[in-house]
Amino acid sequence: MTGMHALVSRAISRWLRLLGWLALTAAVYLLIAWLTEGWRTDGLFVWPSAAVAVIAVLARGNAVAPAIFVAAWISNRDVAGWNLEASTLIAAADTLGPLVGLALLRRRRVGWNGFQTVGDTVWFIGAMGVLNAAICALGGQAAAALFGFGRAPVQQPFGLGWWVADMTSIVVLAPAADLIRRQWGKPMHLEINLENALLPAAAVFGTVVIFTWPATTPSALPFAFATLLLLPLLWSAMRLPLAVSMTATAAVCVLVVSSTLSNLGPLQSMAHTGRDIAVQVMVLSLSSTILIAGLLASERDRALKQLRDTNVNLEKKVSRRTAALQVSQATTQTQLRFQESLLNALPNPVAFCDPYGRFTRVNTAFNLLVGLGGPEIHGRTGAQILGPTLGRIWEEMDTQLLSGASSLSREAPLLLADHEPTVWILNKALVRDAVSRQVVGVVTSMQDITPLKRLQAQLSEDERRFRFLAEESPVPLVINRLSDSVLLYANKAAEEMFRGSYAERGGQSMLWLWPDAAEHDRLVERLYREGTIRGVEQMLRRFDGSTVWLLISVTRARYRDDDALIFAFKDITEAKERETALRTLAYTDALTGIPNRRHFLERAALDLADARREGQPVSVIVLDIDRFKQVNDTLGHHGGDMVIRCFARTCMAQLRGNDICGRLGGDEFAILLPQTNSKVAVEVAARLLRAIREARCMASLAGDRLSVTTSIGVAEHLPLDGNITIDELLDRADQALYRAKEGGRDRVELWAANGTVSG
């Protein structure tokens, strides 16, 4: 809402300002027209209201057209006394003229922003003085020809006079008014002195004296004196702001016109027609001359100011450049001294040669290497200083560089008298001029790599020994690159164990041998923390896809310039298989393959604790085979074992994935149902009851000799039971089983604190 109020307020303010301009334009136009008509009624040679229209259009644009039309119509109709048709046509022409002139000014390539240059003045005189006044004069001439002027007499021809009168008023008054409007409220840089104050005033005072002094006899002397008025006005235009000089010029012109209209001054003895033309030409030329002179002076002042600013900037740039050059020279000297010190401080020999291979500068290390001082080296070539072998390689590298190579590096032997043979690496590069980029020489850096070559030879020997020991070792050894697990080495024992050769798998990633890549990442993270890992059990794949259990030891090392992991393995597959078999014997019932009593009680105790902690229901089922002794007597012990296995399979087939079924002993079984209440548990028990009756394996074993059924007891862990144990919960289910036996067998009973409920 605040933004909307602001928009409305700004819109109202703009409309009020526009209405103010319209009212002011119309009022000033009418007032000046009334004063001008009242001054002289026998024909006018100036029409100041035309200047008012131009000033208003320059200030507010096309928006003031209604005010111009209304004021022109009223002045034509009521002040001049012309008829309705003529007044309307002339008002339209008086309105159209300034608008056409403004449109022409705006169509300039550089636009029009007031009186800034001589070009602006020429365009203004052409558009507003000539074209605008011509349109107004044509309107008046047309009105006279078509409608007449009513009670005002028509003097023919009068169009040329109308045109000159409007043009005179516009050129004399409009520039001064527009300059004052644009300068209004801005600071005016005016040098206050006696000349600036007196000369414009002298021009005005001289005009008053010359053009108001009554002449008794015709004489050209006063008219000659009148031309002297141009001098102070020109001086003002050259020295004062244009708004001041044009205001003084307009005042002089107004005085000239006013005095002549009052039959005073040097032109009073002339006939009206000649006198009018003389005054018009005089004030037109005077105003145009002063305006153009002032603009020329302004352009000269701007050019001089730009020149002074340019000179000042140039002087500043020269000063800065000089200072920068001095600093650069000092910096260059400092850098040269620093470079010389740095060059001599380098432990490696460094030498500079010109494009012809002659030494121009060497450091102290180079002097010590060849046993010669700087003066003995400068100007000589590599072959002359370094001997035939190294000198030949030196010059060959220089030739390659100068032929197009940017830098070179090569090993070369150095054989000097009274010195042991050494091996050096030569690093060469072109030296170019910083500005022209032309080659000015070659810089060579030498480094003694004799110890490195000896070390490389020793490492090669050590690697041969390592490979021999590793290849013949009975311990499987594998070396992988640390970054991507690429196989770098595998000995014979590792190839046999993983069933793949290094020749086939070298360069391939070994990460796929780990069934779980996360295990490999955890092993590497642990290696980072501990440095070495020993005896980690891990199952890996072989290259043929089979699995193997390994005891892994691993450490980090450098192998052939790579960070690597060295693995040592021990095959523990047989031990893991024995361990698995023993675990199976310890937790599995040998006859049925389901959890034995020990395993069932451990698992059931854990699930019961979880249910108690989470507030979830849990139920147990205890069941056995009805009259199992009769089954044994009928089928024999072997047949009884087969019935028990069939009974276990049937029970397992009816359970969910998280249910636990175990054999407690003999023909007695127990089932734990997690997250199951007694109602659902009774339904599961009833389903088991039917499945045992209908089991095919039972029918095939017993035939018609007997039927195999079961009795089932169900108990639920209740919230009021507290920390009841799995043994206590099984005891409750066993009590329910006993009640089922008493109730006739082949039935389900649910344990309750006040008794059992039949299923």
pLDDT score for 632: 84
Q: Which of 333-337, 399-403, 574-578, 689-693 has the highest mean pLDDT?
A: 689-693
pLDDT at 750 over 90: yes
- Tell me what pLDDT residue 73 has: 86
Residue 465 has pLDDT above 80, yes or no: no
- Of all residues in the chain, the percent with pLDDT exceeding 70 is 77
Query: What b/e string do you get for 621-649 counting C-beta neighbours within 10 Å, with b at 16 or more?
Result: bbbbbbbbeebbebbeeeebebbbbbbbe
pLDDT band at residue 682 under the 50/70/90 scheme: very high
pLDDT over 70 (residue 204): no
Q: How confident is the model at residue 210 (pLDDT cuts 50, 70, 90)?
A: low
Q: Please, which pLDDT band fits residue 154 given cuts at 50, 70 and 90?
A: very low
Residue 759 has pLDDT above 80, yes or no: no
Q: Which amino acid is at 206?
A: G
At 180 the pLDDT is 78
For residue 113, with 0-12 CB atoms within 10 Å meaning exposed, 13-18 middle and 19 or more buried, which class applies? exposed
Contacts of 568 (CB under 8 A, 6+ apart): 475, 476, 477, 552, 553, 554
Give the pTM.
0.42
pLDDT over 90, % of the chain = 8
Cβ-contact 659, 680 below 8 angstroms: no
Q: Considering only 167-181, 207-221, 590-604, 642-656, which range has the smallest mean pLDDT?
A: 207-221
Tell me 593's DSSP state.
Answer: S
Residue 519 phi/psi, 5° resolution?
Answer: -65, -40
Question: What phi-psi label fits residue 475: left (phi over 0), alpha (psi between -120 and 50 degrees) or beta?
Answer: beta
Average of per-residue pLDDT across 44-50: 73
The most confident of the ranges 9-18, 363-372, 599-608, 697-706 is 599-608
Q: pLDDT digits over 409-432, tens only? A: 888 887 666 667 788 888 888 888
Q: What is the pLDDT of residues 239-248, one digit of tens each?
A: 667 667 677 7
Mean pLDDT to the nearest integer, 125-150: 80
When comparing pLDDT for 719 and 354, which is higher? 354
Q: What is the pLDDT of residue 269?
A: 58
pLDDT at position 495, please? 80
Q: How many CB atoms are closer than 10 A to CB 174?
A: 29
Segment 667-690 mean pLDDT: 92
Q: What is the pLDDT of residue 237?
A: 60
**Residues 6+ away with beta carbon under 8 Å from 477:** 470, 489, 490, 491, 493, 494, 566, 567, 568, 569
Q: What is the pLDDT of residues 540-573, one digit of tens each?
A: 888 887 888 888 888 888 887 788 888 888 887 7
CA distance 628 to 169: 140
**For residue 315, what pLDDT is reported?**
81
3-class DSSP state for residue 546? coil
pLDDT tens, position by position, 580-626:
666 666 678 888 888 988 889 999 889 988 888 888 899 999 999 88
Q: 468 pLDDT band (50/70/90 cuts)?
A: low
More confident residue, 462 or 374: 374
